[in-house]
Structure 1
Amino acid sequence: MTFDRLRFVLFLNGIFLCPLAALMLIPAMVDLADGNTADTINFLISAAVTGTTGLLLYIAFRRDNFDASDRRAGFMITVSAWVFIGLFGALPLLGGSKHIGITDSLFESVSALTTTGATVLSGLDVMPRGLLLWRSLLQWFGGIGIIVMAMIFLPALRVGGMQLFQMESSDIYGKPFPKMRHLLLAILVVYVNLTLACAIGLVFAGMPTFDALNHAMTTIATGGLSTKDASIAYYQSLPIEIVTEVFMIAGALPLASYAVFLVNRGRKVLIDQQVKGFLVVLAAAIAMCTAWNISQGMLPREALRLSAFNVTSILTDTGFATADFSAWGGFAVGLFFMLYLIGGCAGSTAGAIKIFRWQVLFLSIRRSLAQMLYPNAVIAVHYEGKSLDEEVTTNVRNFFFLYMITLFALSMVLMATGLDFLSATSSIAQAMANAGPGLGPLVGPGTNFEAVPAATKWIVMAAMILGRLELLTFYVMLLPAFWKR
């Protein structure tokens, strides 16, 4: 590894830390307005430490001739950014009036940043407003970072088939947005406007303004952190649930498609094949879960309401809950476990394997079966009207293999820390999918990760980051060849 590459990585991480420091000033002002002096000072100190570190890295390693095409630097930036921001994001939690420990502070920060939504905190209903707002801001900040990563870094690095969404080779992107920065600005505008629309909708549905702002940020980020221990169930409000469902779905769709749709005045929607697939899976899962709950004695109206909200929450990897769905019986538990693995659309804030990879995998399997019937035929795999090259299908298959191997390996490690099979596998599945609650009485929707051992929390944290990095970005750095000149 050359020194120039390391300089480039540290320089960019310094840039990433500066807006994080600026964000810390917002909850500081909230705590100041509430007369919470201790937490105000803590946020100001955290902002000063974060901002100073960012500026020092920027000044010390700034150069005018960095090689932006260096693929190794791209992988290092993608991995290190989530670690750096996760570490500094934990500072306001570590030094606040709640006296949260190092492990729990890091867990909460990483969970928020990766938009996982799992928590180790209890007593949210009476927690200082600045701390609650910081968790939501960190999740919202992580959400836009995920979209930028999905639009720029992962396609350029050809991670897990994401080259399907390469900007430079797409006529859809190229026409309305001649430059990459124009697209990213449009996405940011859409992201902010969706957040504001969600907040306004929640206020009109009856949610208090402060709660509405927090839930809007964590809904659009498909993160699921709440200001209440009982999550959305606290409000017992159908209008609030409907608004939340609509915007959870909105956050799980590719945000670039909104921008392209508006620019083209509705004449063309970006990557609509995965959007259609996502909506079909969502409708089918809601129907199956509703039918199951009715068969178990639940009233039809209640079954539809609970199934629609919780299925949407888990498929979009948001993590809000209105019921303990892990107590709905074997079929429901199996269904929700499968939803952990599916996820939303590429280019959204949702995690997991993602719809487009499932579609490419099934198309590839269909081609293999057809090849068995016609061994001499040349059969292409078509996606969105275009023929996929072998590299894309191979990358998708490799991603699936590594995803499942990682899931099973980390689940075994968790079982070694004392967790039962369901708690261990669901903890890793939700962490890699960035979905929030696990399954079972220990880590299910009715509880959180507060009571699990510290070793378990560190492993789950690692799974959160691995899932958000799309695995391959991290695994390629384990190759000895990566570190050679």
Structure 2
Amino acid sequence: MAPSAPRDVALAGLRLGSVDLVPVLFVLGLLVTGLGVAMLAPALLDALVHDKDWGAFLQAAGISVFVGLLLVLGNHRPHLRLNLRQGFVLTALAWVTLGVVGSLPFMLSAESMSFSDAYFESVSGLTTTGSTVMSGLDTQPPGLLFWRALLQWIGGIGIIGMAIVLLPALRVGGMQLFRMESSDTTEHGLTRIGALGVSITAIYIALTILITIGYLVAGSTPFDAVCLAFSTVSTGGYANSDASLAGMTTLGLWISTLGMMMGSLPFPLYARAVRGNPLILWRDHQVRGFVIFLVTCWLAVAGWRWLTTDVEFFKALTAAAFNLTSIVSTTGYASEDYTLWGSYPVLMVFMLTFVGGCTGSTAGGIKMFRLQISLKILRTHIRRRHLPNAVILPTYGGRPIDDDISVSVLLFFFAMGSTTSLIALILTATGLDWVTALTGAATAICNVGPGLGPIIGPVGNFAPLPDVAKWVLSFAMVLGRLEFFTVLVLLDRRFWTA
């Protein structure tokens, strides 16, 4: 026992309050190592076209793998297992740390970004936000373009994993509807989570392949098809052109629209559908609500443009379907400058920025689940006003809505509203106009991508913003992606002392 005592003491010392950081750092090392290994793919692409950036990716991969292996080897111990509190710490730490790791290729490549710009681009990719500081994308080497798309693809599957493991414990993400409680630490519970994770990963890859084939059929090059499929299924929105998808064919826009919708649906339901229940997606209350809401928005904008302009209805419908789905799904593609459509569509675009897709998807925003829960609570409250003696309980999908879920969902609205307002105020203090500040805060918190106005609108980017604003928006992207409470729980003193 004596020889192992120093190591045991060293391991025991890696604590923050009552939280043992050894398992956290071990898993973080695996993630950093994995992201470093992923850099070899864009390095190979650049090497094949004889672009010198292959060396930058190789250097970044070497640094990442070295640091990652140090964390793994320095924190390895038998029978390592994460508890729920360590899971929260790991989640917050991972998104911040991987943002730094992902920024290395941007700084070391010929693009030579500053750390502020590189971190912004990396975090925007991993959180599948899609805001960018890069221009001249049409002439960039393939490695850098592929790395941006790969960051979003990796971030997308990570987001789904977080929704499965952590958000049910907070009872605000809606994942409890799928009866997958992350607080279940029994072997049976871990086995179910692991099996679901494997199924969802397979489905995620299958959808990526399917969308890639769709883009190929629509006329995209194989390289563009793969990159676009990565950013479509992850609802990320990075494109290989400064014009986003403005040059895409009509067929390509509809394929992209369908792909964004697929990425916005609950992946646990996909897992059930492929196990012999294909109709479960449409029978789901949330999915039906999302599709009906989306199609209604398409018709509202397309019909308005058809009646008030000389645009043909099908052309207006195609543009509305693609661009509105891009906003609602928090993807952030654009096929044209929709800020020129008029005040009514532009205001709708801003309002749709907050909506988001379904819970358990790669989309950000409020999520359809929370909107539906809020409407159920509102209807129950109104009925209780004029029927004070009646026993009226809000239900969702035929099941009663627990009080803690109701309170948590309403608090989410408060957290989103207050955080968006605060971020917008800070951005105006950096010298930005109120439209850029407000829409920039909203698009970062909801992980959408483009904002409104001449600077960060659908035909602009975030490069002109001051560095302070980029750091504020990077924090907002992570905060929004972790759905507030995953970070706020870390601010509770008892979290570290209990």
Cα distance in structure 2, aligned partners of 1:182 and 1:471: 27
Partner of 2:350: 337
TM-score (norm 2): 0.92
Partner of 1:414: 427
Pick from 208, 215, 233 the counterpart of residue 195 of structure 1.
208
Q: Is the 8 A contact 1:28 1:43 kept in 2?
A: yes
The answer to whether 1:68 aligns with 2:82 is yes
Higher mean C-alpha deviation, range 215-224 or range 154-163: 154-163
Judged with a 3 Å threshold, the aligned counterparts in structure 2 of structure 1 residues 7 and 336 are, in CA distance, closer, same or farther, namely same
Deviation at 1:67, TM superposition (A): 5.6
Partner of 2:291: 279
Gapped runs of 5+ residues in structure 1? 170-174
Judged with a 3 Å threshold, the aligned counterparts in structure 2 of structure 1 residues 268 and 328 are, in CA distance, closer, same or farther, namely closer
Q: Is the 8 A contact 1:257 1:271 kept in 2?
A: no
Deviation at 1:4, TM superposition (A): 5.3
Secondary structure (helix, strand or coil) at the match of 2:66 reads helix
- CA offsets 1:132-191 (integer angstroms, 9 cap, x no match): 00000111000000000111111134345544444159xxxxx9x972211111111110
Q: Is the 8 A contact 2:393 2:400 kept in 1?
A: yes
Deviation at 1:103, TM superposition (A): 0.9
Partner of 2:250: 238
Partner of 1:20: 35
Judged with a 3 Å threshold, the aligned counterparts in structure 2 of structure 1 residues 277 and 55 are, in CA distance, closer, same or farther, namely same
Partner of 2:7: none
Cα distance in structure 2, aligned partners of 1:67 and 1:86: 25
Secondary structure (helix, strand or coil) at the match of 1:341 reads coil
Deviation at 1:89, TM superposition (A): 0.5
Cα distance in structure 2, aligned partners of 1:228 and 1:316: 20
Pick from 300, 305, 308 the counterpart of residue 288 of structure 1.
300
The answer to whether 1:256 aligns with 2:268 is yes
Deviation at 1:385, TM superposition (A): 1.5
Partner of 2:12: none
Pick from 59, 67, 70 the counterpart of residue 56 of structure 1.
70
Q: Is the 8 A contact 1:260 1:268 kept in 2?
A: yes
The answer to whether 1:205 aligns with 2:218 is yes
Cα distance in structure 2, aligned partners of 1:204 and 1:30: 23
Q: Is the 8 A contact 2:130 2:236 kept in 1?
A: yes
Partner of 2:44: 29
Cα distance in structure 1, aligned partners of 2:29 and 2:255: 38
The answer to whether 1:353 aligns with 2:366 is yes
Partner of 2:23: 8
The answer to whether 1:77 aligns with 2:90 is yes
Cα distance in structure 2, aligned partners of 1:448 and 1:165: 38
Partner of 2:235: 222
Partner AA of 1:26 in structure 2: A
Higher mean C-alpha deviation, range 394-403 or range 9-18: 9-18
The answer to whether 1:464 aligns with 2:455 is no
Cα distance in structure 2, aligned partners of 1:69 and 1:379: 38
Judged with a 3 Å threshold, the aligned counterparts in structure 2 of structure 1 residues 295 and 413 are, in CA distance, closer, same or farther, namely farther
The answer to whether 1:311 aligns with 2:329 is no
Secondary structure (helix, strand or coil) at the match of 1:419 reads coil
Q: Is the 8 A contact 2:233 2:259 kept in 1?
A: yes
Deviation at 1:2, TM superposition (A): 3.7
Identity, % of aligned pairs?
Answer: 41
- CA offsets 1:455-477 (integer angstroms, 9 cap, x no match): 11111111111110001111222
The answer to whether 1:118 aligns with 2:140 is no
Q: Is the 8 A contact 1:411 1:428 kept in 2?
A: yes
Partner of 2:11: none
Cα distance in structure 1, aligned partners of 2:452 and 2:251: 27
Partner of 1:438: 451
Partner AA of 2:51 in structure 1: N
Q: Is the 8 A contact 1:28 1:40 kept in 2?
A: yes
Deviation at 1:65, TM superposition (A): 4.8
Cα distance in structure 1, aligned partners of 2:326 and 2:298: 11
- CA offsets 1:250-294 (integer angstroms, 9 cap, x no match): 111111211211102425349711101100110111111112222
The answer to whether 1:391 aligns with 2:410 is no
Q: Is the 8 A contact 1:256 1:270 kept in 2?
A: no
Cα distance in structure 1, aligned partners of 2:192 and 2:367: 27
Cα distance in structure 1, aligned partners of 2:174 and 2:209: 33
Deviation at 1:87, TM superposition (A): 0.7
Pick from 46, 54, 64 the counterpart of residue 60 of structure 2.
46
Cα distance in structure 2, aligned partners of 1:271 and 1:23: 38
Partner AA of 1:287 in structure 2: L
Partner of 1:172: none
Judged with a 3 Å threshold, the aligned counterparts in structure 2 of structure 1 residues 162 and 399 are, in CA distance, closer, same or farther, namely farther
- CA offsets 1:192-234 (integer angstroms, 9 cap, x no match): 0111111111111101111111001000000010011101103
Cα distance in structure 1, aligned partners of 2:448 and 2:108: 27
CA-atom RMSD, angstroms? Answer: 2.0
Higher mean C-alpha deviation, range 414-423 or range 202-211: 414-423
Deviation at 1:331, TM superposition (A): 1.3
Judged with a 3 Å threshold, the aligned counterparts in structure 2 of structure 1 residues 137 and 68 are, in CA distance, closer, same or farther, namely same
Q: Is the 8 A contact 1:231 1:322 kept in 2?
A: yes
Secondary structure (helix, strand or coil) at the match of 2:246 reads helix
- CA offsets 1:315-337 (integer angstroms, 9 cap, x no match): 11111101111222221121111
Gapped runs of 5+ residues in structure 2? 1-15, 183-187
Judged with a 3 Å threshold, the aligned counterparts in structure 2 of structure 1 residues 479 and 186 are, in CA distance, closer, same or farther, namely same
Cα distance in structure 2, aligned partners of 1:424 and 1:415: 6
Runs of 4+ in structure 1 deviating by more than 6 angstroms, as ranges, are: none
Partner AA of 1:8 in structure 2: P
Q: Is the 8 A contact 2:265 2:357 kept in 1?
A: yes
Deviation at 1:68, TM superposition (A): 3.0
Q: Is the 8 A contact 1:159 1:473 kept in 2?
A: no
